[in-house]
Structures are given as structure tokens and as C-alpha cells.
Amino acid sequence: MKQEQEITPEIIRNHNLSDQEFRKIKKILGRLPNLTELGIFSVMWSEHCSYKSSKKWLQTLPTKAPWVICGPGENAGIVDAKDNDAIVFKMESHNHPSFIEPFQGAATGVGGILRDVFTMGARPVANMNVLKFGSPDHPKTRHLVSGVSAGIGSYGNCVGIPTVGGECEFHKSYNGNILVNAMTVGLAKKNKIFYSKAKGENNPVVYVGSKTGRDGIHGATMASAEFDDAAEKKRPTVQVGDPFVEKLLLEACLELMKTDAIVAIQDMGAAGFTSSSFEMASKGNCGIEINLDKVPLREKSMTPYEIMLSESQERMLMVIKSGHEKKAKRIFKKWELEFAVVGRLTNSGRMILRMNNQKAADLPIKPLVSSAPFYNRPWKKPSIQKKLTAKKPPPQKHMNKILLQLLGSTSICSKEWVWEQYDHMVMTDTLQSPGGDSAVVRIHGTNKGIAISTDSKPRYCIADPEEGGVQIVAETWRNLTAVGATPLAITDNLNFGNPEKKEIMGQFVCCIKGIKKACTKLKFPVVSGNVSFYNETNNLGILPTPVIGGIGILKDFRKHISYGFKESGDTIMILGTTKGHVGSSIYLKEIEKKEEGAPPKVDLDAEKQNGDFVRKLIEAGMITACHDVSDGGVAVTVAEMTLSKKIGATIALPKKKNIPSYAWLFGEDQSRYIITTKNPAPILKKAKNKRIPLYVLGKTGGDMLVFGDEIAISLRDVRESHEKWLPKYMKGKN
């Protein structure tokens, strides 16, 4: 075995390995590792790759349903869309790199998640993203917003996959750790799905895509540690993306997938060559021998350590059937990509790396994977915010002002400045663009549609992690329902601080409990996901930010519905119960400058009942618009509905004043939808029969937004408040 240099305690520490973990390594090998082997252990056992702190809890999530084809553990999750169509999707974070180098960090985040999806044989059809930035007045925020949005756009636009929606929010807890979570949805044929399980002794191991360089070495380890003030020095660990090569790689892989050459395929994502080769071999109980001299290199004299740990982008590792090398090579050469047979599968159960006729590493595969650390981290039940009761009388400000201020707030205002940089129309199947409750894309050449929604609510999750966990799943389910889709499954991206702290681990555990509860009740399983811990700088963690990406299906895409008012004279109704819940609301945060109070509780029975009811109305073509009631309550929801067609509304406030007006207007009670219809009578009758709370609010029409005698605003003011903040901010004018 080649021993490059002595393994000192400092080297071990720099690889983020604990003393206990190092002892385990020595026990597995029966000797000291060399540097390459140590590097391999460190990335395979990093939090990012091994899920060592989260696995215990992730295992509790529901992952099965009759329509689930593939759950967690593969490159992405897969659900059945009938007629041999399968929807492949996953969300992944690229938080740490995006903070250090926003453009490339965000771009390669998109690249990585695209590969996760097309590795499985799917053509990506839509991208989404969830972005969390620090306070707008933090000196770095503007630069980060600008870099991240341009980076996401540049990658998706160039590959030619529409970016159809997402979220963008600001909060001071992200000052030192922004969040960039990217999601890709792809379409495959159910009988042509590709997995990463290697098999067949002597089958060739093939490297395709870009050459390997020195970029991104130890990216996975970086993403498993906190930042300090010197975070910028980690810039060399950020990868550089080449979306053009990604597009070629996508086309080449899909072309090869039409043949029967591929046995297993895995993208080289975090921890590059190391994790892709280990995962393929360990899933198939194989051994693998790699000749590192054959790996296409961008730079001269790279060491085995560097080759194995590089995170150069746009690369894939495949096992193909022996004898199919020529056919495969022809396709990759047509697309002008690297193609190299770098090794063979063996039955030894070991990974053996050779370079310059010397053994560079010799590791047992199963023990390395199966004895990966598994921590039952201690956790403390987080303190939970107490329930607030809406005050009477209402606060001093005039309701007009409050509504306009909410519409212009960083949470609610239009994010068009960001998503206008994303090509959301390429592939010409986009039915609902960014800004709606869910994005909707048609399954090309069919009458089916896929609805996609991404949701997070960190302010609820900090106030009560378990209720927050329930709420985000319910909100995703609701958003999919609001366009007429039947929700199928979710991917989750769990962004938290340092799990070695009991409080943070407690947030994580309780959020998972909430997610589990809602997923189980709504039959909305988790089929893929990602955990991002250590989102901390100088000991300060982010708000607990689990993010849900949900998928729903429309049997007939022509029935999908959008949230804008369609015509004057329609009747506006509210479905669901309004109690005036103001705790942890946007109203409280923006107007009273308080981030406190229990978040609204979701009654999952009511959620299901209301959602199923509204979906049936949409399918029957009985309503003209539908919008879920979310941030800012009824008033903001109705205001948003006036925007697209500039149609106003007149709403009567409830006669019985058991709820203060401001709480009725801006409270965030759950499981509610605002709907419009030309013919309210049959809907009201149906609701009455099913004992579903449904009330007439008023009518659409005019150029004003009126709520009883509390609010009267011109549509021009509504629109201006909603649109002006972000562009002005990005110009540096506020």
C-alpha cells in the first residue's frame, strides 16, 4: 500500500473525524489508513453522505403507498403517473457553497439535482427552488440574492429545463447561512427506470462526462461543519458548473438508456468518485477495482486522494454490460464527452484503487458502509410558544395601511425580479408559472398534468417545531389541491443548525414528528430527501427550516385552475373555519414587529375534508378561481387574486363581531381556500350536506378592493405595493 504521508492528529481533525471514528477506521482495516483511504472514510462518513445524525429519525417517516415506485435511498424518489409514466423527483440543498460563492454554488446545486433525476432514466421537465436570505439590511444580502438568482437561472436556462416556481424569503437568522434548495422533477417510463445497484462480475465500470479537476475537494466535508468568519477562505472547495456539458451529458445518457447496455448508473455528486463507486458496489454486494490512471483528468499530476475526492461537476459513473463498451462509447463521442473504462466489478467485496502500478487504496466495502457512524444524538424538547389571543380593540394603524404594508413585505411581495431570470416556458408544457399556488406542467403529448409546490414556514417551526412540521406538509398538500391536483408524494429538505446541540437536535426531531403525522394522515409519503445540518455561523443557527417539495397529478390538465379572479360578477366564498389566529403570523411580524405566539394548529381531518371537497369542485368545473389562504390571511389572499386580471372585489365582513376585524382579515387559520364561482347555490348545498364550512364573502368586480368599512384600496395601490419592493431593493434604493 502506498503511504503518501504520516497520519497526524491534525490531519484527522482536518478531515472532521472524531477520535472515536478514527479508532473505528483502524479496527475495520486492521492497520493505519493511508491518506487516500482516510480521505475516503472522511467523506463517506461525513454527515452529508452518511446521514449519521439524522438516520434514526428519517427512518420513522412514512415512505410507502401503492403509487410509490421508489422511495428514499436511490438518487431520487419515483411515483406512478399511470400509463407507464413515472414521475422522478428530489430536492437537495447547496447552502454552504452558495453562501461562499453564490453564482457557482447555486448553479451547481441545480446541476447536481438535475443529474440525480436523469441518472434514473428520466428527462427533467421542471425545476423549482426555495431560497432563504439574510435580513435585507445585512451588507451581503443584495450580493447573495443577485448571485444566487443569476446562478440558478444560468444553469437551468442553458440546459433547457424550465424553472417553474419556488419561494424566496428573508430573515436575519440566515445572515451567515443562506439556504439554496433546488428541486427537479423528471419523467421516465415505468419500465425503463435505472438504479444504482451494480452487478455482474467483470462488468466494466465506465466514467463519462467532464474531466476530473481539483475543484470541490472536500465539499461534502465542508457542508458538514459550521462556518466562522473565515468562511470565504473555503471558496476553493466550491465547484464550478458547466451547464453546456450537463446538457450534452443529459442527451447522451438518455440516448444510451434507450439501449440495454446499462446495468447501474450513479452521478458523481457530493464526494464525487468515492461515493458513486461505493454506493454502486455496496448496493450490489460487489467488489470494484479501479485503475486511476484511466480517469480523464483536467490537471496534471493529480494524486489518488485528489481524484477520489474531487467534486468536479457533470460526471457520471456507470456499470455497463460486458461487450457493450463500443456502442456506449460511440454515443458519448457523438456528444463530445469523455468516455473511459476505468475498472471492473469483482466478487472480492473490496474496493481496490491502483495508480502508477501501485495500490493506492484497499478498502472493504460493506464494513465501510455498514459501520458508518450512526448517532442517537441527545435532544431536548424545544420550548414552545404560548397561544396568543387576538387583542381587542385592534391596533391603532388604519387597515388600509396594514394591508399595503403586508403586500409589500419581504415575505409576501412579488419575487418577479428573481424568477424573471428563469426561463419558465422552455419545453412549452408550462401551464402555471411562478407565483401561483403550485406550478403545473403538462406531461408532454398527454392530457395529464403534474402539479409541483415547495413550502416552508420557518417562523412556525421555531415557535413550535412539531406543529410547524405538520403545517408545512399540509400547506404543500393544500397548494397542490388548490390547482386541482391529487397530491401524491413529497421530497423533504431538512435545513437545521448544529445537531450536536441538544436544542437543535430537538427542533429536528420534533419537526420530523410533525412531518410524519401529516404525511401519514394525508397519505402523502416521503419518497426522497436531503438533510443539511451545520447551518450555523459563529455559533448562531438558522431558524429550523424543513422544506417540503410536493407532487400532485391532474388526470386532465385542462381542468387545472389558477388563483386570479377571472371575471367580474363572480361570487367569492371562503371554505374552512376562520378563528382569527394571529400567533406567529406575518401580520405580527411586520406590523407589530413581534415574532411570537403559537403557530396555527392544523386539524388534519378538516384539512383532508376541505381539500377533497375543493378538488371535486375543480374537477367538476364548478369554480373559476381558487387560492389557498396562507401568509397574511384572507385580506392578502383576496388582494393577490385581484392582480393578474386587474379585477377588484367587494367583501362583507362577518356581522357577528366575535373576532376583532384585524384578526379576521390577517389571521392565518389553516385549511382554508378562497374560491370564486358563477353559481354559488349548488356548491353551498353540497357543502351543507357534507357539513363543510363554506361562506359567501362577496363579489368580484370594479377597480377597488373593499372589505366592509375597514379597507378600501385602489387596485393600482395593491399592485404597486406588491411589486415595488424587490426591484427597488436590488437597485440599492431602500
Q: Which residues bind other proteins (CB under 8 A)?
A: 150, 153-154, 157-160, 242-245, 247-248, 335-336, 420-431, 442, 557-558
* Nearest approach, Cβ of residue 562 and other proteins (Å): 12
What is the rounded end-to-end Cα distance, in angstroms, of the chain? 62
* Nearest approach, Cβ of residue 424 and other proteins (Å): 6
CA dihedral 707, 640, 585, 172 (to 10 degrees): -140
If the CB atoms of residues 560 and 581 are measured against other proteins, the closer one turns out to be 560
User: Which run of H or of E encompasses 703?
Assistant: none
If the CB atoms of residues 301 and 428 are measured against other proteins, the closer one turns out to be 428
* Nearest approach, Cβ of residue 606 and other proteins (Å): 33
If the CB atoms of residues 440 and 713 are measured against other proteins, the closer one turns out to be 440
* Nearest approach, Cβ of residue 493 and other proteins (Å): 25
Distance CA 256, CA 254 (A): 5
Compute the radius of gyration of the chain from its Cα atoms: 26
Whether residue 730 contacts residue 421, with contact meaning beta carbons closer than 8 Å, is answered with no
Map 605-656 to HEC letters: HHHHHHHHHHHHHHHCCCCCEEEECCCCHHHHHHHHHHHCCCCCEEECCCCC
If the CB atoms of residues 420 and 503 are measured against other proteins, the closer one turns out to be 420
**Helix/strand/coil percent split, the chain, to 5:** 35, 25, 40
Residue in the block written with cell 379572479: 565
Residue 85 CB coordination number (10 Å): 18
Distance CA 53, CA 445 (A): 44
Q: Considering 15, 48, 96, 560, which one is annotated as catalytic?
A: 48
Tell me which residue of 450, 495, 503 sits closest to 472, measured CA to CA.
495
If the CB atoms of residues 111 and 525 are measured against other proteins, the closer one turns out to be 111
If the CB atoms of residues 150 and 540 are measured against other proteins, the closer one turns out to be 150
* Nearest approach, Cβ of residue 175 and other proteins (Å): 25
Q: How far is CA 543 from CA 171, 176, 510, 595, in A?
A: 9, 12, 14, 12
* Nearest approach, Cβ of residue 130 and other proteins (Å): 19
Query: Environment class of residue 725 by beta-carbon count within 10 Å: exposed (0-12), middle (13-18) or buried (19+)?
Result: buried
If the CB atoms of residues 435 and 698 are measured against other proteins, the closer one turns out to be 435
Whether residue 495 contacts residue 93, with contact meaning beta carbons closer than 8 Å, is answered with yes
Whether residue 443 contacts residue 553, with contact meaning beta carbons closer than 8 Å, is answered with no
650 grid coordinates: 367587494
417 grid coordinates: 425580479
Residue in the block written with cell 472532521: 16
If the CB atoms of residues 218 and 247 are measured against other proteins, the closer one turns out to be 247
If the CB atoms of residues 247 and 315 are measured against other proteins, the closer one turns out to be 247
Distance CA 116, CA 121 (A): 10
If the CB atoms of residues 158 and 208 are measured against other proteins, the closer one turns out to be 158
* Nearest approach, Cβ of residue 247 and other proteins (Å): 6
Phi-psi region of 138 (alpha: psi -120 to 50; beta: other; left: phi over 0): beta
| DSSP symbols for 406-423 | HHTSTTTS--HHHHTTS-
Distance CA 320, CA 318 (A): 6
Distance CA 536, CA 175 (A): 10
Distance CA 682, CA 624 (A): 14
398 is catalytic: no
* Nearest approach, Cβ of residue 428 and other proteins (Å): 5
722 is catalytic: no
If the CB atoms of residues 141 and 275 are measured against other proteins, the closer one turns out to be 141
* Nearest approach, Cβ of residue 98 and other proteins (Å): 18
Residue in the block written with cell 403545473: 440
Q: Considering 15, 94, 218, 424, which one is annotated as catalytic?
A: 94
Query: Environment class of residue 347 by beta-carbon count within 10 Å: exposed (0-12), middle (13-18) or buried (19+)?
Result: exposed
Tell me which residue of 212, 275, 234, 268 sits closest to 97, measured CA to CA.
234
* Nearest approach, Cβ of residue 155 and other proteins (Å): 11
Distance CA 644, CA 678 (A): 19
Amino acid (one-letter) located at 292 = L
| Exposed e or buried b per residue across 692-717, where buried means at least 16 C-beta atoms within 10 angstroms of its C-beta | bebeebbbbeeebbbbbebbebebeb
* Nearest approach, Cβ of residue 423 and other proteins (Å): 4
* Nearest approach, Cβ of residue 473 and other proteins (Å): 30
If the CB atoms of residues 80 and 215 are measured against other proteins, the closer one turns out to be 215
Distance CA 384, CA 468 (A): 11
- Report, as residue numbers or ranges, the catalytic residues: 48, 94
